[in-house]
Amino acid sequence: MADLFNPTEEHLALRAMVREFAEHDVEPQACRSDREERFNVELFRKLGELGLLGITVDERFGGSGMDAVAAVIAHEELSAVDPGLTLSYLAHAMLFVNNLAQNGNDEQRARLLPAACSGAAIGGMCMSEPGAGTDVLGMGTTARRVDGGYRITGAKMWITNGAINDTDLGDVFLVYAKTGDDGARGLSLFLVEKGMEGFRLGQKIKDKLGMRASTTAELVFEEVLVPERNLVGQEGSAVRSMMRNLELERLTLAAMSLGIARRCIEVMNRYASERHSFGKPLRAFGQIQRHIAESYAEWMAGRAYVYQVAGALRLDSYGNRIDSDGVKLYCSTMAKNVADRAIQVLGGYGYVGEYNVERLWRDAKLLEIGGGTNEAHQKNMTRDLAGVPILR
Ligand SMILES: Cc1cc2nc3c(=O)[nH]c(=O)nc-3n(C[C@H](O)[C@H](O)[C@H](O)COP(=O)(O)OP(=O)(O)OC[C@H]3O[C@@H](n4cnc5c(N)ncnc54)[C@H](O)[C@@H]3O)c2cc1C
């Protein structure tokens, strides 16, 4: 029978390569980067050498030309070791690189993708604002048409890779802004680059609960002049590009949850054999068995759902919001619960850094918020399911 999780030899080889890199290069710094709230830029750039930063991009533009399943594999494997670094990877490779590859034109692709695929330039995507997150159309950032382009004014909040350290901006961003008051038809997408006058770092956000190895920033736009050639797609067409990219974003965030859950299951499973209590290994006790067995079954259920959706997802279209929301809704909470059980199985040792499960538990929580909150997924899915009274 075909392997759902590694449908081709290429996928299998990719998984082996990313796992090897994650265990040998990423693992040694993961705990330290979390503690120091440091984005490891040098390590991040190595992902470019491995072909991972442009994993879904055409080879003509410096990418590896792979599919959504490959993107899921990369996120799952990296996240098992360092979800913080993986979040930076996702913001760059999915929210910037794949987004531009799918929604930009050839001039924009040729101009910006090779550096982004190699890791020379670090990118991100700016949708959320200080006053509007879930309510995307309530955003206040505007782009006013002027001679030769647009003037962008506003602020974006929670932007992963917005800064690469305490003081320096990331290099290039896809920024959503309003070009009209016409609801969804008034939203447009722009490329904003470091060095453009009026574009600056508001603040690097510190003291996050988790995902501390990725940077999160507020970015400020003061009458930033963006040339016409940096408009992505047509004016007023950004909702379509947003939908197209959100499906892959949610799928890969779900894949990150799978990595977290797998690692936590491995840790608690091993510990339950090694640790003895009342003369028996922990795994002899029914309550511990429940933590381990339910975690494994839930992880496998989530994994099957993610890979089934990934196998069907086409990068250049959209239309499967029920399941791209569904995988994230299920897997994010599954990962948080599995990490929680791992801490419980390890007792006091789970509550401190040594076994990593406390870090993974903190990181897992973000996945219920970023890329759409669980409540947003429930809202979207219930709305879309109204049109599907019979499930096949
Ligand atoms: C670490 C981190 C990294 C991030 N990276 C990025 C990034 O790179 N780019 C980017 O654009 N954004 C990013 N985000 C922002 C993220 O996508 C938003 O935080 C998220 O969409 C929620 O928006 P909000 O924080 O404004 O919460 P709000 O939208 O204000 O929601 C607050 C609460 O109200 C609930 N709520 C809101 N509306 C409804 C409703 N209609 N029905 C029921 N409940 C509702 C929400 O579910 C939530 O529980 C990041 C956030 C974090 C924390």
pLDDT tens profile 365-391: 999 999 999 999 999 999 999 999 999
The pLDDT value given to residue 137: 93
Ligand 1 centroid vs 79 CA: distance in angstroms? 21
Q: Is the CB of 357 under 6 A from ligand 1?
A: no
Q: Determine contact, residues 225/146, Cβ cutoff 8 Å.
A: yes
**Average per-residue pLDDT in the chain?**
97
Q: Is the CB of 210 under 6 A from ligand 1?
A: no
Question: Where do we find the tokens 């990150």?
Answer: 256
Question: Where do we find the tokens 């962008």?
Answer: 152
- Phi-psi group of 309: left, alpha or beta (phi > 0 → left; psi -120 to 50 → alpha; rest → beta): alpha
Model confidence pLDDT, tens digit, residues 284-315: 999 999 999 999 999 999 999 999 999 999 99
User: pLDDT grade, residue 114 (50/70/90)?
Assistant: very high
Residue 16 phi/psi, 5-degree rounding, is -65, -40
Model confidence pLDDT, tens digit, residues 47-106: 999 999 999 999 999 999 999 999 999 999 999 999 999 999 999 999 999 999 999 999
pLDDT over 70 at 181, yes or no? yes
pLDDT mean over 323-346: 98
Q: Determine contact, residues 240/319, Cβ cutoff 8 Å.
A: no
pLDDT mean over 220-232: 98
DSSP-derived secondary structure for 74-115: HHHHHHTT-HHHHHHHHIIIIIIIIHHHHHS-HHHHHHHHHH
Ligand 1 centroid vs 250 CA: distance in angstroms? 13
Angle between helices 321-346 and 357-366 (to 10 degrees): 150
Flag whether the pTM goes above 0.75.
yes
Model confidence pLDDT, tens digit, residues 182-203: 888 999 999 999 999 999 999 9
pLDDT over 80 at 392, yes or no? yes
* Cα–Cα distance measured from residue 164 to residue 331, given in angstroms and rounded to the nearest whole number: 28
pLDDT over 90 at 350, yes or no? yes
Q: Is the CB of 369 under 6 A from ligand 1?
A: yes
Cα–Cα distance list, 99 to 15, 54, 178 (Å): 23, 11, 18
* Cα–Cα distance measured from residue 339 to residue 341, given in angstroms and rounded to the nearest whole number: 5
Q: What share of the chain is helix, strand, coil (3-state, %, to 5)?
A: 55, 15, 30
pLDDT over 70 at 225, yes or no? yes
Catalytic residue selected from 77, 193, 218, 249: 249
Most informative mutation of 92, 369, 380 for ligand 1 (most atoms within 8 A of CB): 369
- Residue closest to 11 by CA, chosen among 59, 86, 71, 62: 71
Q: Is 249 a catalytic residue?
A: yes
Percent of the chain at pLDDT > 70 equals: 100
Most informative mutation of 128, 135, 242, 374 for ligand 1 (most atoms within 8 A of CB): 128
Q: Is the CB of 91 under 6 A from ligand 1?
A: yes
Ligand 1 centroid vs 59 CA: distance in angstroms? 34
pLDDT over 70 at 156, yes or no? yes
For ligand 1, atom 24: residue with the closest CA: 133
Q: DSSP 3-state assignment of 152?
A: strand
User: pLDDT grade, residue 242 (50/70/90)?
Assistant: very high
* Cα–Cα distance measured from residue 70 to residue 243, given in angstroms and rounded to the nearest whole number: 20
Burial class from Cβ neighbours inside 10 Å (0-12, 13-18, 19+) for residue 240 reads middle
The domains of the chain, with CATH numbers, are 9-122 (1.10.540.10), 124-232 (2.40.110.10), 238-385 (1.20.140.10)
CA R_g for the chain: 21
* Cα–Cα distance measured from residue 216 to residue 41, given in angstroms and rounded to the nearest whole number: 14
Q: Is the CB of 139 under 6 A from ligand 1?
A: no
For ligand 1, atom 30: residue with the closest CA: 133
Q: Determine contact, residues 189/103, Cβ cutoff 8 Å.
A: yes
User: pLDDT grade, residue 317 (50/70/90)?
Assistant: confident
Q: Is the CB of 370 under 6 A from ligand 1?
A: yes
The pLDDT value given to residue 267: 98
Ligand 1 centroid vs 5 CA: distance in angstroms? 30
Q: Is the CB of 176 under 6 A from ligand 1?
A: no
Q: Is the CB of 205 under 6 A from ligand 1?
A: no
Q: Tell me, what DSSP letter sits at residue 316?
A: T
Ligand 1 centroid vs 130 CA: distance in angstroms? 10
The pLDDT value given to residue 1: 58
